Amino acid sequence: MHLDKETRLIIKRALQEDIGHEDITTLFTIPYHFKTEAVIIAKEKGILCGMDIAKAVFKERGKKVFFKAFVEDGEPFRSNQRIASIKGDARVVLSAERVALNFLSLFSGIATTTKEFVNRCRGTKAEILDTRKTTPNLRVLEKYAVRIGGGLNHRKSLGEAILIKDNHLRAGKFMRNNRLDAVKMAKCISYVRTLPSVKVEIEVETLEDFKAIIKYKPDIVMLDNFDIKSMRKAVRFRDRNFTQVKLEASGGVKLENVRRIAKSGVDFISIGSLTHSPEAIDFSLEVVSSKNKG
């Protein structure tokens, strides 16, 4: 993974948050001339993500730390497997430990969860998407973890694509007596089409609204909280009349039902839980030796 300026700033801020003015426990218990060797061990199985970030955390604290990865991003690991070793100044290793493990835990959790959803959809055309339900200031890294798990990124910011949701329709007065104002919608889509390289997606909550919206040929129609039966009807209607329009299923997607959703024929399945509530993977750092550098 290429660590850009934004990622390095995230690492600096994370270390500052965790260490404060100084790691006083390590300072008072470890002599400055001690060198140590430690290993990072996975406490459960999963898909690895964040190895380069973990390495950069240790390097940020001490340039002479030697970090060796045994598993790379995107590779599976098993419980109790050693995934990396670190050698260098004992104070550096111990003060950087928690931040490095936190990044590995979060990003590996996202990658592992994403991979599970992707595997459930194998053999269908549906692709797994993330959402903007990310941790503030960590979006670029969490979306990287989704890609490592085999998923795709939805828009990275509000400026990347147009996604018209129910609140936009209500706030913009596109609804009249709880029905879509077709004239206003047509004008809106026509204007957006004049903008270069901007995709348009519109969210709908009923089959009636879906049939009203799709005739304006947005790039994507999001089927929000549709049941499987309604989803299949929407797919059949699209396939008969508007083959160029993509369909995205969203809302209430779980491992237990994602394959049924994928088999309905939708093109994308967006899942907020990939990033807003992933199950973190547990890692530990264990010192295996320590000695006087002199």
Residues 74 and 145 placed together within one structural domain of the fold: no
Catalytic residues: 98, 133, 165, 203, 224
Asked whether residue 294 carries a pLDDT value surpassing 60, the answer given is no
Dist CA 242 CA 223 (whole Å): 15
Residues 158 and 104 placed together within one structural domain of the fold: no
Task: Give the single-character DSSP code of 35.
Answer: E
Residues 149 and 243 placed together within one structural domain of the fold: yes
Asked whether residue 223 carries a pLDDT value surpassing 70, the answer given is yes
Query: Is-above-0.75 flag for pTM?
Result: yes
Task: Give the single-character DSSP code of 152.
Answer: B
Residues 100 and 141 placed together within one structural domain of the fold: no
Q: Which domain holds residue 210?
A: 123-276
The CATH code of the domain that includes 15 is 3.90.1170.20
Residues 111 and 150 placed together within one structural domain of the fold: no
3-state secondary structure 94-137: HHHHHHHHHHHHHHHHHHHHHHHHHHHCCCCCCEEECCCCCCCC
Residues 176 and 37 placed together within one structural domain of the fold: no
Residues 283 and 272 placed together within one structural domain of the fold: no
> Which of the two residues, 197 and 134, has the higher pLDDT score?
134
Q: What are the pLDDT digits (tens) for 98-110?
A: 999 999 999 999 9
Q: What are the pLDDT digits (tens) for 35-89?
A: 999 999 999 999 999 999 999 999 999 988 999 999 999 999 999 999 999 999 9
Residues 288 and 216 placed together within one structural domain of the fold: no
Residues 92 and 195 placed together within one structural domain of the fold: no
What pLDDT shows up at residue 229?
A: 97
Q: What are the pLDDT digits (tens) for 136-186?
A: 999 999 999 999 999 999 988 988 888 888 788 777 777 777 777 767 777
Q: What are the pLDDT digits (tens) for 269-284?
A: 999 999 999 899 999 9
Residues 101 and 165 placed together within one structural domain of the fold: no
Residues 155 and 186 placed together within one structural domain of the fold: yes
Q: Summarize the confidence of residues 287-293 as an average pLDDT.
A: 81
Tally of CA atoms within 13 A in the half-sphere of 261 that contains its CB: 28
Tally the domains of the chain: 2
Return the SS3 of 193: coil
Return the SS3 of 140: helix
Residues 191 and 68 placed together within one structural domain of the fold: no
CA 276 to chain centre: 8
The CATH code of the domain that includes 160 is 3.20.20.70
